[in-house]
Amino acid sequence: MVVSGGIFSESESRTETLSARKTFPTGMSDSDVGPETVEHIAELARVELDEEERTLFAEQFEDILSYFETLDEVPETDREPELTNVMRPDERRQSLDQDEALQNAPEAEDGQFKGPRVS
Amino acid sequence: MSLNAYITEARIEGGDGPLASKTVAVKDNISTEGVRTTCGSAMLAEYVPPYDATAVERLLDAGATIPGKTNMDEFGMGTTTETSAFGPVENPAAPGHVPGGSSGGSAAVVASGAADLALGTDTGGSVRCPAAFCGVVGIKPTYGLVSRYGLIAYANSLEQIGPIAPSVAEAAELLEVIAGPDDRDATTHDARDHGTDYEFGAAADGDVEGMEIGVPTELLDGADEAVVDQFWAAIDELEAEGASYHEISLPSLEHAVEAYYVIAMSEASSNLARFDGVRYGTSGGYDGNWNETFARSREEGFGEEVKRRILLGTYALSAGYHDKYYKKAQDARAWVQGDFDAAFEDADVLASPTMPITPFEMGESLDDPLKMYLADANTTPVNLANLPAISVPIGDGSGLPVGLQLVGPAFGEKQIIRAGSALA
């Protein structure tokens, strides 16, 4: 199975700062999902949380993650996924024009998206 | 009384074709050119797609009229349609109860007669659950049967657009319209390359003579008594029509819910990274650098369940935890697929209750996310295995709607439609 398709799915490359394989501070154990850990994950995911959400999520994540841990009982399964490359000719074709692409942007300038400063 | 089933009521007229004179409501995560598409989220409250989803194009080409965009759990993340930023939907078949989710608005408009038909999307049961809870029919197609182009992604490897209708025959006819390969979605397949065709409407002939039904005992174990009673009554009915059944054990299904949630949340954490308040979405024009601004726009734009899933998905993919959660979930997915393959060696379709429970009361599961997740025990295995399934109404359990789920082998839509049409 190939996981791709559609304009929405093709814009992942710009989010490399959010991609997988983030590292946690050492010494964190499975049962240690306190508000600090939640805050750290939230930072990595670029979602700000308030105090109440941090406390609530810390509580709920204990339950949910310990339920997920029953996956330990799953045997290692060897199964080749049916993956095939789906290619198309590398030719120009119709896409959204600039105005259409910008029409939902909260801010645009000179035909470009306008974002906050990078650092 | 308003059901709050539509987020946007806007009439989009189609051409001429088999669906002329039919209204087909569309779930609000499927793009409609010029008509806002919110995903039930404050993040996209003002978002107006510049193009139509392939499924919408096909509806309009078939002559359908779209009466509006239906309410849903935010980004499809929920089993009750209570996580919508636009408020909950009332179940027209069970007042005071949730309509199921995440396609709750689509099932509600069909059940109440406000629309003839509807499209929903099913990532872990989001078409079948609301169909069961509202007493209507819903189909989750084989992965790749229907194009996802223009469907705003939540978990790409699991989700499909599917029809909701009052009867199996009508759901099958709607599926016939939206199915088919699409060069804008590289994961689509042509059913004709898989030994079948697209004559789904004609398959609704109710002929179950000689059909063999497998009943996975794992999917009955945790179910409410009222649901199990209705289930066996429906199996009796199919037997009376000439089908036979046998019980089977598929031990992998015990782990399907946790595998589903780990995979779905992981994919969601990546998919929803695009909502940054720059190209589209809520933006406050805040001070600060990109990271701070981004985090604040997402704090404001996303609801609690969406944040919960983004965070858990981020955690499950992170260094040190990837092997423990994500990789084990992929093992479980392969195990579930293997179990289903084996089951179909001796069965034409597999049957279970669609939902192990009758509809929650409104508000009942909101404070307990794990309780809501566990309600998806019977629907999630089907998405993990990329298979087709249908939910058909089989009467009341303690006065509340109950659905029967029939699962087929990959591209076996006609088998489940045939079996389902013997009942509804």
Summarize pLDDT for B77-91 with one digit per residue, the tens.
Answer: 999 999 999 999 999
Closest chain B residue to the Cα of A75, Cα to Cα? B331
Whether the per-residue pLDDT at A44 is higher than 80: the answer is yes
Closest CA to B107 of B68, B165, B56: B165
Helix (H) or strand (E) holding B55: helix B54-61
User: How many other CB atoms sit within 10 Å of the CB of residue B316?
Assistant: 24
Per-residue pLDDT averaged across A30-36, rounded? Answer: 74
Interface touch B270/A20, C-beta < 8 Å: yes
Per-residue pLDDT averaged across B212-216, rounded? Answer: 98
Closest CA to B129 of B87, B76, B88, B168: B76
Predicted local confidence at residue A2, as pLDDT = 36
Handedness of CA B61, B65, B67, B70 (dihedral sign): negative
Predicted local confidence at residue B365, as pLDDT = 86
Closest chain A residue to the Cα of B322, Cα to Cα? A21
Q: Is pTM beyond 0.95 here?
A: no
Per-residue pLDDT averaged across A14-26, rounded? Answer: 41
Nearest to A47 among B47, B149, B299 (CB): B299
Q: Does domain B6-253+332-420 have CATH number 3.90.1300.10?
A: yes
Query: Quick one: what percent of chain B has pLDDT higher than 90?
Result: 92
Interchain contact A76–B (C-beta under 8 A):
yes
Instruction: Report chain B residues whose CB lies below 8 A from the CB of A18.
Output: 269-270, 273
Instruction: Report chain B residues whose CB lies below 8 A from the CB of A14.
Output: 274
Closest chain B residue to the Cα of A100, Cα to Cα? B50
Per-residue pLDDT averaged across B101-117, rounded? Answer: 98
Instruction: Report chain A residues whose CB lies below 8 A from the CB of B258.
Output: 67-68, 70-71
Work out the burial of residue B243: count CB atoms within 10 Å of its CB; fewer than 13 is exposed, 13-18 middle, 19 or more buried: buried
Nearest to A47 among B259, B311, B316 (CB): B311
Instruction: Report chain B residues whose CB lies below 8 A from the CB of A76.
Output: 331
Residue that is written with structure tokens 């389902």 in the block: B420
Closest CA to B8 of B74, B71, B95, B91: B71
Query: Which long-range CB contacts under 8 A does B46-52 form with residues at least 24 apart?
Result: B46/A104, B47/A104, B47/B280, B47/B281, B48/A103, B48/A104, B49/B150, B50/A96, B50/A100, B50/A101, B50/A103, B50/A104, B51/A7, B51/A96, B51/A100, B51/B150, B52/B150
Predicted local confidence at residue A4, as pLDDT = 36
Yes or no: say if B89 and B3 are a contact pair by the CB < 8 Å rule: yes
Options B27, B69, B140, B414, the catalytic residue: B27
B93-97, B148-152, B365-369, B378-382: least confidently modelled range:
B365-369
Residue scoring higher pLDDT (B305 or A10): B305
Q: What angle, rounded to 10 degrees, do the helices at A51-68 and A35-44 form? A: 90
Instruction: Report chain A residues whose CB lies below 8 A from the CB of B316.
Output: 68
Nearest to B258 among A61, A67, A116 (CB): A67
Instruction: Report chain A residues whose CB lies below 8 A from the CB of B311.
Output: 38, 41-42, 45, 47, 57, 61
Predicted local confidence at residue B285, as pLDDT = 66
Closest CA to B108 of B133, B78, B144: B133
How close, in Å, is residue B42 to chain A by CA atoms? 14
Closest chain B residue to the Cα of A23, Cα to Cα? B319
Predicted local confidence at residue B15, as pLDDT = 87
Interface touch A1/B334, C-beta < 8 Å: no
pLDDT band at A88 (very low <50, low <70, confident <90, very high): confident
pLDDT band at A18 (very low <50, low <70, confident <90, very high): very low
Closest CA to B346 of B200, B258, B214: B214
Interface test with B, best of A2, A10, A46, A49 (most B CBs within 10 A): A46
Per-residue pLDDT averaged across A10-28, rounded? Answer: 39
Query: Which long-range CB contacts under 8 A does B81-85 form with residues at least 24 apart?
Result: B81/B105, B81/B130, B82/B362, B82/B363, B82/B365, B82/B366, B83/B40, B83/B303, B83/B304, B83/B305, B83/B306, B84/B7, B84/B40, B85/B38, B85/B40, B85/B41, B85/B42, B85/B45, B85/B303
pLDDT band at B422 (very low <50, low <70, confident <90, very high): very high
Per-residue pLDDT averaged across B243-251, rounded? Answer: 98
A70 is written with which tokens?
């029953």
Predicted local confidence at residue B284, as pLDDT = 62
Question: Pairing relation of β-strands B117-122 and B160-165?
Answer: antiparallel
Interface touch B283/A107, C-beta < 8 Å: yes
pLDDT band at A82 (very low <50, low <70, confident <90, very high): confident
Per-residue pLDDT averaged across A65-70, rounded? Answer: 94
Predicted local confidence at residue B290, as pLDDT = 87
Predicted local confidence at residue A6, as pLDDT = 33
DSSP-assigned letter for residue B153: P
Q: Is B398 a catalytic site residue?
A: no
Per-residue pLDDT averaged across B382-409, rounded? Answer: 95
Tens digits of residue pLDDT in B340-379: 999 999 999 999 999 999 999 999 988 899 999 999 999 9
Yes or no: say if B401 and B393 are a contact pair by the CB < 8 Å rule: yes
Predicted local confidence at residue A19, as pLDDT = 39
Helix (H) or strand (E) holding B67: strand B66-70
Nearest to B308 among A3, A4, A57 (CB): A57
pLDDT band at B396 (very low <50, low <70, confident <90, very high): confident
Per-residue pLDDT averaged across A91-114, rounded? Answer: 92
Helix (H) or strand (E) holding B304: helix B304-316
Handedness of CA B390, B393, B396, B401 (dihedral sign): positive
Q: Can you tell me the distance from the alpha carbon of B138 to that of B141, in angstroms, rounded to the nearest whole number?
A: 10
Beta strands in B130-217 (DSSP E): 137-140, 160-165, 212-216
Mean of all residue pLDDT scores within chain A = 77
Options B41, B84, B102, B421, the catalytic residue: B102
Residue that is written with structure tokens 């993990």 in the block: B384
Closest CA to B277 of A10, A115, A47: A115
Predicted local confidence at residue A32, as pLDDT = 66
Instruction: Report chain B residues whose CB lies below 8 A from the CB of A113.
Output: 278-279
Type of residue numbered B48? V
Residue B350: strand, helix, or coil: strand
Per-residue pLDDT averaged across B107-130, rounded? Answer: 98
Options B31, B84, B106, B126, the catalytic residue: B126
Per-residue pLDDT averaged across B387-395, rounded? Answer: 97
A78-87, B101-110, B212-221: least confidently modelled range:
A78-87
Buried b (16+ CB within 10 A) or exposed e, B138-151: bbbbbbbbbbbbbb
Per-residue pLDDT averaged across A29-56, rounded? Answer: 88
Size of interface A-B (CB pairs under 8 A): 220
Per-residue pLDDT averaged across A71-81, rounded? Answer: 86
Chain A residues 95-114 with CB within 8 Å of chain B: 96, 100-101, 103-107, 113-114
Predicted local confidence at residue B5, as pLDDT = 98
Whether the per-residue pLDDT at B275 is higher than 50: the answer is yes
DSSP-assigned letter for residue B122: E
Q: Can you tell me the distance from the alpha carbon of B194 to that of B196, in angstroms, rounded to the nearest whole number?
A: 6
Interchain contact A84–B (C-beta under 8 A):
no
Question: Pairing relation of β-strands B137-140 and B389-397?
Answer: antiparallel
Q: Is B147 a catalytic site residue?
A: no
Yes or no: say if A36 and B291 are a contact pair by the CB < 8 Å rule: no
Mean of all residue pLDDT scores within chain B = 96
- Highest-confidence segment of A20-34, B250-264, B270-284, B312-326: B250-264
DSSP-assigned letter for residue B183: T
Q: Can you tell me the distance from the alpha carbon of B97 to that of B103, in angstroms, rounded to the nearest whole number?
A: 15
Whether the per-residue pLDDT at B66 is higher than 70: the answer is yes
How close, in Å, is residue A40 to chain B by CA atoms? 10
Q: Can you tell me the distance from the alpha carbon of B161 to that of B144, in angstroms, rounded to the nearest whole number?
A: 10
Interchain contact A11–B (C-beta under 8 A):
yes
Starting at the earlier edge strand, list the strands of the sheet with B400-407.
Answer: B6-12, B66-70, B24-27, B117-122, B160-165, B137-140, B389-397, B400-407, B349-353, B212-216, B244-248
Instruction: Report chain A residues whose CB lies below 8 A from the CB of B151.
Output: 6, 8
Q: Is B421 a catalytic site residue?
A: no
DSSP-assigned letter for residue B15: -
Interface touch B332/A77, C-beta < 8 Å: yes
Closest chain B residue to the Cα of A47, Cα to Cα? B295
Predicted local confidence at residue B366, as pLDDT = 84
Q: What are phi and psi of B352, to 5 degrees?
A: -160, 170
